[in-house]
Homo-oligomer: A and B are copies of this chain.
């Protein structure tokens, strides 16, 4: 249950009521808000006189719920605004990993050429084997920061675990919580304490309920700027790397107030299907797209099979505007 306390309620009183009701206390719009476990069905007597407004929730999808906030949140991703009434579909592109200044510069220049506003690239790679390329780490972050300075692009990179969350927050504009790290409370709680936008990827074994609840760690921490990213779930089918769950996206659009970005590159795992899937995602009227590109995918140090080369990406990018327009959106 979300309980908006009356404006005059003091911080001390709010905290005292929070402890009593086992709630998280949030300060929002100059007033205090209690978020109780969803098992609470009615405002208890001792809270009645402090309550301005209350919202009953049938699960722990609370601040993220359309029942609480009926329109999609407006979130600024660099120069691109998404959600709300914008009808924007923001393109985010770049390589799987930062590999060198030359490589990331080429990707940044592709963004500039096409008008893409957000550059993505991994620095801390969440590889499943210790014997694979693990990313450039801090050096990669610094290269990304240089791209921002030089080209005015917003940059996004993935945080792999809580040991380097501070660096990622410092160097990037948007924090990506990766599919393998999205249950990590060390990361989520730090993301709740800042105001930079946070993109949470769905774990490949994660239910929609758990996925949305991960956002509640950030939202209830005080950061309202959360974006969800569907990137494919693990199923019995192995001809493709994962299975992009667009039925799940339909659910999220219906029930949550969080903007949704889709990552068909990781879902498919092969370059050949990505153009078709990206157009499908666009026709759903979603808020953003995350597509992997590389100047020369064949020599990429990670995810070689699924990255588009620049010519493939240009062709795809040009084909998206008509699709977006057909559903009343525009690519930004």
Which of A184, A207, A238, A319 gathers the greatest number of chain B CB atoms within 10 Å? A184
> In the complex, which residues of chain B have a beta carbon less than 8 angstroms from the beta carbon of A267?
247
The answer, yes or no, to whether A303 is at the interface (CB within 8 Å) is no
The answer to whether A251 and B236 have CB atoms under 8 Å apart is: no
The answer to whether B232 and A233 have CB atoms under 8 Å apart is: no
Binary flags per residue of A268-303, CB closer than 8 Å to B gives 1, else 0 = 100011001101111111000000000000000000
Complex Cα gap A254–B274 (Å):
11
The answer, yes or no, to whether A325 is at the interface (CB within 8 Å) is yes
29 contacts between A and B (CB under 8 A): A36-B131, A37-B131, A60-B131, A126-B183, A131-B216, A131-B220, A134-B185, A161-B161, A161-B162, A161-B185, A162-B162, A180-B184, A204-B205, A205-B205, A205-B233, A208-B237, A235-B236, A239-B251, A240-B250, A240-B251, A244-B246, A246-B277, A249-B276, A250-B277, A283-B323, A319-B326, A322-B327, A323-B323, A325-B326
Choose among B248, B268, B326 the residue that contacts A250 (Cβ–Cβ < 8 A). Answer: B268
The answer to whether B247 and A128 have CB atoms under 8 Å apart is: no
The answer, yes or no, to whether A51 is at the interface (CB within 8 Å) is no
The answer, yes or no, to whether A35 is at the interface (CB within 8 Å) is yes
Complex Cα gap A129–B128 (Å):
26
Complex Cα gap A250–B244 (Å):
11
> In the complex, which residues of chain B have a beta carbon less than 8 angstroms from the beta carbon of A134?
185
Choose among B38, B130, B240 the residue that contacts A248 (Cβ–Cβ < 8 A). Answer: B240
The answer, yes or no, to whether A132 is at the interface (CB within 8 Å) is yes
Binary flags per residue of A27-55, CB closer than 8 Å to B gives 1, else 0 = 00000000111100000000000000000
Cβ < 8 Å to B, chain A residues 204-231: 204-210, 213-214, 216-217, 220-221
Closest 7 CB pairs of A and B: A205-B205, A250-B273, A161-B186, A283-B283, A322-B326, A60-B129, A240-B247
Name the residue of chain B whose CB is nearest to the CB of A209. Answer: B239
Binary flags per residue of A115-147, CB closer than 8 Å to B gives 1, else 0 = 000000000001011111010000000000000
Cβ < 8 Å to B, chain A residues 130-188: 130-132, 134, 160-164, 180-181, 183-187
The answer, yes or no, to whether A24 is at the interface (CB within 8 Å) is yes
Name the residue of chain B whose CB is nearest to the CB of A281. Answer: B280
Q: How far is the CB of A163 from chain B (nearest CB, A)?
A: 4
Q: How far is the CB of A277 from chain B (nearest CB, A)?
A: 6
> In the complex, which residues of chain B have a beta carbon less than 8 angstroms from the beta carbon of A323?
283, 323, 326-327
The answer, yes or no, to whether A243 is at the interface (CB within 8 Å) is yes
Complex Cα gap A180–B323 (Å):
35
Q: How far is the CB of A112 from chain B (nearest CB, A)?
A: 26
The answer, yes or no, to whether A6 is at the interface (CB within 8 Å) is no
> In the complex, which residues of chain B have a beta carbon less than 8 angstroms from the beta carbon of A67?
none
Complex Cα gap A183–B127 (Å):
8
Name the residue of chain B whose CB is nearest to the CB of A180. Answer: B183
Choose among B36, B161, B234, B282 the residue that contacts A236 (Cβ–Cβ < 8 A). Answer: B234
Q: How far is the CB of A159 from chain B (nearest CB, A)?
A: 10
Known pairs A250-B273, A280-B284; A213 contacts B128 (CB<8 A): yes
